[in-house]
Amino acid sequence: MDNKLYLGVDIGSISTKAVAIDKGNNIFARSYLWTEGNPIGAVRRVLDEIQRQIAGRGEVFAVGTTGSARELIGAVLNATIVKNEITAHAIGTLAFHPEVRTILEIGGQDSKIIILEDGVITDYAMNTLCAAGTGSFLSSQARRLNIPVEEFGARALKSKNPTKIAGRCTVFAESDLVHKAQMGHPTEDIIAGLCNSIVYNYLNNLGKGKTINAPIVFQGGVSKNVGVARAFENIIGEPIIVDEIGHLMGAMGIAILARDQEAERFFDFGVKDVEFSTAGVECGGCPNNCEVVCVFNNKGFIDGWGNRCERGIERAKAKLKEGGRLK
């Protein structure tokens, strides 16, 4: 068991992803599952899967976390490094596509675009406010059409005349979809129209004012939909690269960053069996009235964030002790 491995965990609102890699970026273990509104529970299940896959093949010596719950899970796992999704996705993509200049990413409830020049991020944008044009949007339309979302891509490619669907808003898109179906538009054309509307929505919002240059890499869960990938190619007019592990690139990038920290320490998978709790505490020490998010287990306080000064953490800990939440 000579392999030193490095674990990257990407905790999103919809899905939680993880990879364990070696120094050569070879993937020894991977996991992708639904967060289901419980990031700590999701990470427990991810760790179970990763531990099972690497049993007898190596040990983990650094951990990185990214995604919307990166601070929380970083505290729980005592992560070597915690970074935002933009950095993690860029680092992961560059490891496999060093010439990439544009990264298009569409996930379950948000999306992002990253512009690079010579391997350096020069611009980016994120959309976390509206579900239109995301994986959850596609899934809801699939249910409305009574077609498995996994079949959407193949059905879209059969279309000869995509229907125009209003995609700027989920409510309008659903209303327009129903209207077009009632008018008798073929299902394949409606599905292709939805794929086009997702791309136009993405480019009109995230891509507005940005120069999209090739090579272009499309990633995130929606990248597995060949209909959306084809729509990007047709509308942008450039070939689109869809990597086989594109849905894991955030986890891959943060695993690489954890490895490059050169701060190795043995990771004990037993952490998944520890009970963790969180609490939001209003400091109240000044007019800022920061809400401090605290993480603790049966041994006491682990970490906290949301405070604008060090007094915020101390006041939060004192309030938790007063309330009997901390020893």
Q: Are residues 209 and 256 both part of a single domain?
A: no
Distance CA 211, CA 228 (A): 20
Average pLDDT value for residue range 112-133: 84
Q: Is the pLDDT of residue 131 over 60?
A: no
Residue type, 240: I
- Percentage of the chain with pLDDT > 70? 96
Domain ends where: 242, 260, 285?
242
Q: Are residues 86 and 104 both part of a single domain?
A: no
The CATH number linked to 133 is 3.30.420.40
Query: CA of 25: how far to CAs of 14, 28, 55, 91, 125, in Å?
Result: 26, 9, 18, 12, 27
* pLDDT at residue 132 in the model: 57
Q: Are residues 119 and 24 both part of a single domain?
A: no
Predicted model pTM: 0.86
* pLDDT at residue 136 in the model: 72
Q: Are residues 218 and 121 both part of a single domain?
A: yes
- Residue linked to tokens 């120094």: 23
- Note whether residue 327 is domain-resident: no
Q: Are residues 47 and 111 both part of a single domain?
A: no
Q: Which residue has the higher pLDDT, 222 or 128?
A: 222
Q: Are residues 294 and 188 both part of a single domain?
A: no
Per residue in 188-242, pLDDT (tens digit) is 998 898 888 888 888 888 888 999 999 999 998 888 889 999 999 999 999 999 9
Q: Are residues 208 and 298 both part of a single domain?
A: no
Per residue in 218-232, pLDDT (tens digit) is 998 888 889 999 999
Distance CA 59, CA 76 (A): 19
- Note whether residue 166 is domain-resident: yes
Per residue in 24-64, pLDDT (tens digit) is 999 999 999 988 889 999 999 999 999 999 998 999 999 99
Q: Is the pLDDT of residue 272 over 70?
A: yes
- Note whether residue 32 is domain-resident: yes
Q: Are residues 189 and 261 both part of a single domain?
A: no
- Note whether residue 198 is domain-resident: yes
Q: Is the pLDDT of residue 327 over 70?
A: no
* pLDDT at residue 179 in the model: 83
Chain mean pLDDT for the chain: 89
Q: Are residues 117 and 34 both part of a single domain?
A: no
Residue 31: count other Cβ atoms within 10 Å of its Cβ: 22
Per residue in 67-84, pLDDT (tens digit) is 989 999 999 999 999 999
> With bands split at pLDDT 50, 70 and 90, how would you rate the model's confidence at 138?
confident
Q: Are residues 201 and 137 both part of a single domain?
A: yes
> With bands split at pLDDT 50, 70 and 90, how would you rate the model's confidence at 169?
low
- Note whether residue 26 is domain-resident: yes
Q: Are residues 67 and 34 both part of a single domain?
A: yes
Per residue in 280-306, pLDDT (tens digit) is 889 888 888 899 988 888 778 888 888
Q: Are residues 209 and 268 both part of a single domain?
A: no
Residue type, 236: I
Q: Domain residues for 69?
A: 4-91+250-273
> With bands split at pLDDT 50, 70 and 90, how would you rate the model's confidence at 130?
low
Distance CA 120, CA 103 (A): 12
| Residues facing residue 296 across a β-bridge | 277, 301
Q: Is the pLDDT of residue 253 over 80?
A: yes
Domain count of the chain?
Answer: 3
